[in-house]
Structure 1
């Protein structure tokens, strides 16, 4: 464990970390439980999360002053997040939670392939190999679950966007407080969704009207989604990053699709049953995702040993 962490993680820290990952895996299920469409859902989620984060920042004595240019940039990232969430929830709605999470599990490797384009880092051979393995897994799923092509395509698009804004955020957090960044991003995501509504209402709804009316169950699920799965889970993860190594965090986050698929099966049962081909393909993808941080750890240890062996 790196000495830079504030303290050694305790058992309850491990429990909280897995609980947060469980919540992230639960978001696709909430998207299917909530009766309103994906666009209206993202509208409510983003405004509630933005307000709640603003209250948290103000309560903790944080600052919103980061400069007009930075605000414009961060709000722009929020536009990307809005598209990511709309595709994510729409994927779960038109196909299944399992299909959605199988596609979303490619986000970490999309990140590893895209990062060299944004930074000066070199492409790593093992990451190319894992990407090929993921393509094989996706091919198997497409072959056996052809009826869900639209759903998994949406999930892949959502994962691609997640990789893009994760790379951008990794640079933003070097100079600004993560909670402040997220607050402006949620505001940007709300703005993007609101601006999208006229086009969406005219061209993408059957009745030409928005479904903004919610029932009592929707109020509960949207509240959990915005406040528990977004605000609490995010701030909790940032706090735990001070105790866990990046390797441990990345390895644990890979459990998100596993938890989500298991929860979906228990909640929706027959509605989440897939062909054997789906589970073969999903297993290959998840194996690749789990293997990535392990290979990365081996590579980093080799580099450190090589550096230690060089004369000073």
Structure 2
């Protein structure tokens, strides 16, 4: 763990501006170093399947009514695209994040699947203390950034090892269920994919349930159990997150952003935006364009 902290700190130090804004560096495919020098307020975002390993500091992640707190040596594993709110509670904060490659997991699962893999906790967000094998593999993957030749040959192999360790770990239960195409976890993932493909179109629970081969009641039950929210609220969160990204990059007007993400009423959009993010959409746009 100490070697991993030293290596990550060395790499990010040169790019650290010393201010309150986070420093983000990507050194290997899917692998990023994040550093922040001060605590932050809660911020809404969409987590795609990811492993986040805390090296220094502490972080809180809220999913529905549950809040997880994790610190040095602990990791959080997210199996589905998930709207969350999170904040840094102790700084300096240093973490590694690795995008989880679902296709790579499925190929591995086909090779190692057996009844033993069906055991273990099955939660969409799983907190766990990183074991020595995972820490070593993460460190070796990070170290490959020093040698492009080694990275070309060993990068894919080391990434595969990390995914294998996640898939077979005691806390990888939801990942294992996700790999089974007949599972509820897989059905919910397909429904989420459908919503993300076209966030503008209205959805109905019966339509989504039909698309993934489930009854409406069963689909609603399992969707909420996995994501801690309802399908309609999930789509609303997707729309608001997409709109905020548009506005914070100095994009369209508030009204245009509302229509682009599927709202029919700009006033309703503004109310729900302010309720979720704590500021009106006009403020985010003004901050982005320097017209405040």
TM interval, short-chain normalised? under 0.3
Q: Higher strand fraction: Structure 1 or Structure 2?
A: 2
Q: Could you say which structure has the greater relative contact order, defined with CA pairs below 8 angstroms and 6 or more residues apart?
A: 1
TM-score by length of 2: 0.25
What TM-score, normalized by structure 1, do the two folds share? 0.24
Higher helix share: 1
